[in-house]
Chain A
Amino acid sequence: SAVISQKPSRDICQRGTSLTIQCQVDSQVTMMFWYRQQPGQSLTLIATANQGSEATYESGFVIDKFPISRPNLTFSTLTVSNMSPEDSSIYLCSVTGTEYEQYFGPGTRLTVT
């Protein structure tokens, strides 16, 4: 399976500011995803990060709030814009393996005050 790293691992931010989370994979992968896991909840897909084109967002998530970049097949960023306390979550990137399984990065724990 691919080795996935995320930066930062955690951050505390003030409301109204933005944070960009980086996801780096040690091999080229076709599909990368961004998830949110709110406290005590399961994982919710935010968007599919597409290389060379705009990300595909799930219902309830919009590009203005969660802009995503995917400049190549090993790297992606997710920005959480104009943050509010409701954005306090763990944000995880994932990549697909050989049989649709997904492997997750270690996550970024975000607290908005």
Chain B
Amino acid sequence: GQNIDQPTEMTATEGAIVQINCTYQTSGFNGLFWYQQHAGEAPTFLSYNVLDGLEEKGRFSSFLSRSKGYSYLLLKELQMKDSASYLCAFSSNTGKLIFGQGTTLQVKP
């Protein structure tokens, strides 16, 4: 079967670093995606990993281990505007995205 799991909520302090973990199980895999969604808005694409390793994009980095079915999103130098939901999703062989429940991140001053 297919499933994907991530923590429901996290809290971090402005200026700090936070890591949001995601584990998944699937037979067909075409990549792991992270999206950011602010309340009342559509999800916006953050990152894509298809090979093992770390992809860095500014303050955001994403890591993938396909053998472990594991990914994380790393946010550095947290800002108040980073308070949002972060959605982990994998792409199946058919191009469909299967989303996790999302992690609501609250950044505190």
Q: Is the CB of A41 within 8 A of B101?
A: yes
Counting CB contacts under 8 A, is B60 at the interface? Answer: no
- In the assembled complex, the CB of A76 is this many whole angstroms from the nearest CB of chain B, namely 15
List of B residues within 8 angstroms of A104 by Cβ: 42-44
- In the assembled complex, the CB of B23 is this many whole angstroms from the nearest CB of chain A, namely 15
Q: How far is the CA of A96 from the CA of B101 in the complex (A)?
A: 21
Determine which residue in A92, A97, A100 has the highest number of CB atoms from chain B within 10 A of its CB, and name it. A100
Q: Is the CB of B45 within 8 A of A102?
A: yes
Q: Is the CB of A42 within 8 A of B45?
A: no
Q: Is the CB of A42 within 8 A of B101?
A: yes
The number of residue pairs between A and B whose CB atoms lie closer than 8 Å in the complex comes to: 53
- In the assembled complex, the CB of A34 is this many whole angstroms from the nearest CB of chain B, namely 12
Q: Is the CB of B31 within 8 A of A100?
A: yes
Q: Is the CB of B45 within 8 A of A103?
A: yes
Q: How far is the CA of A42 from the CA of B91 in the complex (A)?
A: 16
List of A residues within 8 angstroms of B72 by Cβ: none
Q: Is the CB of B102 within 8 A of A48?
A: no
Q: Is the CB of A1 within 8 A of B31?
A: no
Identify whether the interface residues of A are mostly helix, strand, loop, or mixed. Answer: loop
Residue of A nearest to B30 (CB): A100
How many positions in chain A have a CB within 8 Å of any CB in the partner chain? 22
Q: How far is the CA of A94 from the CA of B37 in the complex (A)?
A: 14
- In the assembled complex, the CB of A97 is this many whole angstroms from the nearest CB of chain B, namely 8
- In the assembled complex, the CB of A67 is this many whole angstroms from the nearest CB of chain B, namely 20
Stretch at the interface among B10-18, B73-81, B92-100: B92-100
Check A1/B45 contact, CB under 8 A, given A96-B95, A100-B31. yes
Check A99/B97 contact, CB under 8 A, given A92-B42, A104-B43. no
Q: Is the CB of A101 within 8 A of B102?
A: no
Contact with B along A73-113 (1 / 0, CB 8 A): 00000000000000000001010110111111111000000
Counting CB contacts under 8 A, is B107 at the interface? Answer: no
Q: Is the CB of A101 within 8 A of B45?
A: yes
Interface CB pairs A-B, < 8 A, 8: A31-B95, A42-B102, A43-B87, A43-B89, A43-B97, A92-B43, A100-B48, A106-B42
